[in-house]
Amino acid sequence: MKSQEIRKRFLEFFQSKNHSIVPSAPMVVKDDPTLMFTNAGMNQFKEYFLGNSIPKSTRVTDSQKCLRVSGKHNDLEEVGHDTYHHTMFEMLGNWSFGDYFKEEAINWAWELLTDVFKVDKDSLYVSVFEGSKEDGVGLDTEALEIWKKIIPEDRIIYGDKKDNFWEMGDQGPCGPCSEIHIDIRSDEEKAKKSGRELVNADHPQVVEIWNLVFMQFNRKADGSLEELPAKHIDTGMGFERLCMALQKKQSNYDTDVFTPLIAEVEKITNTTYGKSEEVDIAIRVISDHIRAVAFSIADGQLPSNTGAGYVIRRILRRAIRYGFTFLNTKEPFIYKLVNRLKIQMGDAFPELEKQQQLIENVIKEEELSFLRTLEQGLVLLENIVKESNSKEISGTKAFELYDTFGFPIDLTALILKEKGFSLNVAEFEAALKEQKDRSRAATQITSGDWHEIAEVSEDVFVGYDELETPVKIAKYRKVETKKQGALYQIVLTKTPFYPEGGGQVGDKGYLKAGEGKISIIDTKKENNQIVHFAKKLPQDISAEFTAVVDAGARAKTAANHTATHLLHQALRKILGTHVEQKGSMVQPNHMRFDFSHFSKLSSEEIEEVENFVNNRIQESLQLEEQRNIAYQEALNRGAIALFGEKYGDSVRAIRFGDSMELCGGTHVRNTADIWYFKITGESAVASGIRRIEAITGEAVKAYFQEQSDVLENVQGLLKNAKNPVKAIKNLQAENAELKKQVESLLKDKAKNLKSEIKNELKEINGVHFVAKQVDLDAGGIKDLAFQLGGEVDNLFLLFGAEQKGKALLSCYISKELVESKNLNAGTIVRELGKFIQGGGGGQAFFATAGGKKPEGITQALAEAKKYLAE
């Protein structure tokens, strides 16, 4: 059975059991501060498990794109080395929100596997939770009794908390689970050892295939458990493992989920899968990682140096590194796999086809960049080896190479081994742990339990219409972070505060009751509830308050948000409809807008975009808002939806003239409220992605005033010239002429200096040597050194110079001396750099060092002679 058919049959089975089929949520999580990536099928349903929202359907099923490479679910290092771990994987699941429970979940799972998919019953084992004295929870007898009616008791395994109790996090809904494991070993292997003994023993052919989670408890901050008022079912089955079992393969990578990708890697790299363990691992790594990276980019997450973007860059670089080391690929090639992936999975996930060009562009650019980094790292590693006095290389130096340049530590270890050196791994791991501990400590959050006081209104957000409204506190809790200290998270019965989302920052303001008020310093959305952040709680928690939004900041933010819509329209009109929004940040004082486009905008295009937006502002276009329009109807009317965003059946559409977008943010009532739009910057974010930074309203007025002040100052310096542009051009021409004269004088000076230095050369052990302080800049010194090198054999010279209070050392060594006497100018200037409190480097025949102690030049010059001693 082909993988596409397996996915289809799973969904149709649960549809027949009255489940609604829902689409996969984006793999990249945008509006949940607790997650960077969707790492389990239940992530998009957290709000239902927590009781923060009521689901439209109490039974749903889907195939969810997941990524596990960080946090407690971290499979990255196993990927490629074994046959069943992946970064990106599909999780097939069925859910019940307060509807059916263990009886149906277990029986349906068994029916699907054995009746529909015809899995051999004798190859299956199941587990039940044995209980926990620590939590005061006994054996899951309910699940046990159901399983005993289905499967022989010797195939039922009792698991502890680690294996058979699933938790969403340190707090929140949780419960016992039953795992279904499959033994796909040969009959000969099964005869030697029972599969029961290999369950949860990391055996590649005895693997967990499905986890049935019975959510019946809530974990409180103190670690205790309480019963949930409504019990839920959350199941997750690894699609790739299911395909392995049904296609009777011994490895996920031998299924049709991966074989087309593997064949494409073989073709591109001229390698063969199945002949060498090192090559096989590399091909598996690449075939896995291209999926994770491609889907992440399609969902709007570009590789970067921070957060989720750093995770994606790390995955991609791991793939590039394996290709570089084991497949001998020195040119970009991974981007060529995107088309094969699209052919394979595009029907189930159409975003791959729609975003194909962008995905290829971004991956190719990342490959080019990292291959340059690898080249640079190889040179730096070579220098570390040359300078080492020991056969064991410092782990601290290797960490600097890893941390600063992104040079992979396993590649460092491999190269050192080939050269007969070893790496102090303990030192490296200590440095890495120290860095991780610092990072973890900076972001660690300790949360208390929620204290619930009142019910939250059904229409909780009223901020589209009101900036001030009477409210009560519905619940609150204390949180602590190292960065911000103790804070309080407050949920109100209703709120005018807009929570951060869709690129727009959260509102600030205050809660007041009588004469007292507390500041709201930020507003975010978590698990579908709007959370307000405050540094303290009001004295009377149960009082009625007035929630007041900072109206000035909201108005500026709304102007910038509306401007992003007009900007999007302008870019699509002027550059083409290939332009798509790829990210935005909307704040009171400025905005930025990322979009897909293949080249830098010209000054004419920037001016045209500005004029387009400002014309829409001058037209005084009225806001047309539809708060509850059917998603498909909005699209049919021309609304633009963004890739990587999760939309419900009902959406909010915002229209200003011909600009119509799906958007939950706040906007001006009329475009005239924006006043004016000014682009302040245009730059590249990644290959095929550009960024525009801009300002509106009061910020533009301040900008124009600043420019006016600058012009006034320039005119003052030019003695109030009537035409300052012409006056500056005259100064530039005069300056260029003076530069020519100075360069001519310096050449004459260097010519005279060259003759002088030739007369000062001394012969030491067959080497022509001079060490001298000269009055030249760095460029003049280099020219003089190379001129002398072309005229004098076996030359060793060291020049010192003082420029603007700084010291400079330059060393030149004839190439024949570099080889015959094993001299290295880079090493020499680094060692002599200590006398001028500086450092530097360069090539073996020419190098420079800079420092902040000019008085040390004399001593450095005096020390140079020691390098020629026999």
The answer to whether residues 164 and 129 touch, using CB atoms and an 8 Å cutoff, is yes
pLDDT band at 702 (very low <50, low <70, confident <90, very high): very high
| Close Cβ partners of 144 (under 8 Å, ≥ 6 residues apart) | 128, 156
pLDDT band at 383 (very low <50, low <70, confident <90, very high): confident
pLDDT digits (tens, 9 = 90+) for 518-564: 999 999 998 889 999 999 999 899 999 999 999 999 999 999 999 99
Q: How far is CA 291 from the centre of its chain?
A: 15
Averaged pLDDT of the chain? 91
In the block, which residue shows the tokens 């012969």?
A: 763
pLDDT for res 378 = 82
Arithmetic mean of pLDDT, 157-164: 93
pLDDT band at 73 (very low <50, low <70, confident <90, very high): very low
Region of poorest pLDDT, from 714-723, 765-774, 791-800: 714-723
pLDDT for res 440 = 67
30 pLDDT higher than 80: no
pLDDT band at 433 (very low <50, low <70, confident <90, very high): confident
The answer to whether residues 128 and 164 touch, using CB atoms and an 8 Å cutoff, is yes
81 pLDDT higher than 90: no
Is the pLDDT higher at 39 or at 639?
A: 639
The answer to whether residues 805 and 795 touch, using CB atoms and an 8 Å cutoff, is no
Long-range contacts of 200-208 (CB under 8 A, 24+ apart): 200/127, 200/159, 200/163, 204/82, 204/83, 204/84, 204/250, 204/251, 205/250, 206/181, 206/182, 207/84, 207/181, 207/182, 207/241, 208/179, 208/180, 208/181, 208/238, 208/241
The pairing of strands 124-129 and 156-159 is parallel
pTM of the model: 0.75
Distance set, CA 116 to CA 6, 16, 93, 124, 126 (Å) = 10, 12, 16, 15, 18
pLDDT digits (tens, 9 = 90+) for 643-659: 777 787 889 999 999 99
> What is the CA angle 628-634-636, rounded to 5?
155
The pairing of strands 451-452 and 516-520 is unpaired
CA distance 321 to 679: 39
pLDDT for res 639 = 93
pLDDT band at 616 (very low <50, low <70, confident <90, very high): very high
pLDDT digits (tens, 9 = 90+) for 475-493: 999 998 777 788 999 999 9
Q: What is the DSSP string of 202-242?
A: T-TTEEEEEEEEEEEEEE-TTS-EEEEEEEEEEEEEEHHHH
Arithmetic mean of pLDDT, 196-203: 91
Q: How far is CA 324 from the centre of its chain?
A: 23
Is the pLDDT higher at 418 or at 167?
A: 167
pLDDT band at 185 (very low <50, low <70, confident <90, very high): very high
Give bridge partners of residue 848 from the DSSP assignment: 810, 841
Arithmetic mean of pLDDT, 805-826: 91
